[in-house]
Structure 1
Amino acid sequence: MASKLLLITVFILDVIAFGLAVAAEQRRSTAKVVIDNDQDYRYCVYDSDISTGLGVGAFLFLMGSQVIIMVASRCFCCGKPLNPGGSRAWAIVLFMTCWLFFLIAESCLLAGSVRNAFHTKYALVYSNPPSCSILRRGVFGAGAAFIFLTGIVSQFYYVSYSNARESFQPYGRDPGVGMGTYK
């Protein structure tokens, strides 16, 4: 049977990661072009950089959730064998899907955090306004969507894995052919 405490812990970590990713999307850095009349040049001024920290926090909470699931299931490759059947087949498919969604979510969160932390330096441009690069909309949102999908798939993976692991019955009889009565 799947551990309810583990499932609740992983669910809470996934909800925190999702909330942080949504907050990071809402608090992305914005920039304004400011004109310095004394020096006669324009430069970029960025507001707070809190979404980088929120994105990194979501990254770490999702990673913690994935580590807990993989340690509990022995990363699908260690431990006693699984019973052939539907639960094992679903566990294999969900394991691969879980890792795919996890890698996409982590990539979005990491790329969004790095890009959001990058600020262009003061630009000495006299005729044109400088290019104030900011993070595009939806990077943290995509990360949040894949956090949600990872959370669902990892929970189903662990339940399928637990069902396949618990139903394994090793063959207890003598594996040879008994020829004692045919002497």
Structure 2
Amino acid sequence: MAGSTAVLAAILLVDLAAFGLAIGAVQSHPSARLETDERKEWTYCVYRPDAATALGGVALALLLVGQAVAVFASRCFCCGAALRPGGARACALILFLSSWVTFIVAEACLLAGLVQSAYHTGYRRVFFENPPDCATVRKGTFVASAAFALFTCVLTSAYYYCFSKARVNFHRQQATIGMTPL
């Protein structure tokens, strides 16, 4: 197998853990209910404690770590060693760009889910007015983040494999200058 097996295993392990935590954030979907005070003057939202915010935050950090491991191991594709021309290099370039697109989308979805999950409304309305809107995170936000985290895992692992395959056994020929006596 081309490249470091330990690096590839680390990328897979961290990204799959981020995927699992994003799925866990979907399962611990926060809920809220309306309550009124004792005098029946105010209505407010009471939120059930949820773990979605913590799980989403850890998933966000792990996804970032997985991408950082791939970038540092491959020296960011453009700053590293010379690559053998051919299909492996072209595939590595396409996978590099694709993995970054899916990574950015996954991070944006996780961040949006974190912000929505952490936002809790307080005392909002007088009792005889419309009841407050108890904002909770939509399940689709964390589902999308989990899907894109899985795509990022697959694309980043494939990128590192193709990159290391293109890097193996490629040495530039040294320029030689003939030094013959006149």
TM-score (norm 1): 0.91
CA distance in structure 2 between the partners assigned to 1:51 and 1:137 by the alignment = 10
Aligned to 2:43: 42
Count, aligned residues: 178
Pairwise CA distance, 1:37: 4.0
Other structure's SS at 1:135 match: coil
- What is the CA deviation profile of residues 44-84 of structure 1, one whole-angstrom value per residue up to 9, with x for unaligned ones? 11111321111000001111111011000001011221111
Residue 15 (structure 2) aligns with? 14
- Percent of matched pairs sharing the same residue: 42
AA in 2 matched with 1:12: L
| 1:104-123 deviations in Å (ceiling 9; x for gaps) | 00111111001110011111
Q: What whole-Å deviation, never above 9, does each CA across 1:94-133 have from its counterpart, x for those lacking one?
A: 0000000000001111110011100111112323221111
Equivalent residue, structure 1, for 2:57 = 56
Residues 49 and 117, structure 1, Cα contact 8 Å, conserved in 2: no
Cα drift, residue 36 of structure 1 = 2.1
Q: Counterparts in 2 of 1:1-183, with a 5 A limit?
A: 1-125=2-126, 126-172=128-174, 174=176
Aligned-residue CA RMSD (Å)? 1.8
Instruction: Provide structure 2 residue ranges, at least 5 long, that are not aligned to the other structure.
Output: none
| Alpha-carbon separation, structure 1, partners of 2:55 and 2:100 | 22
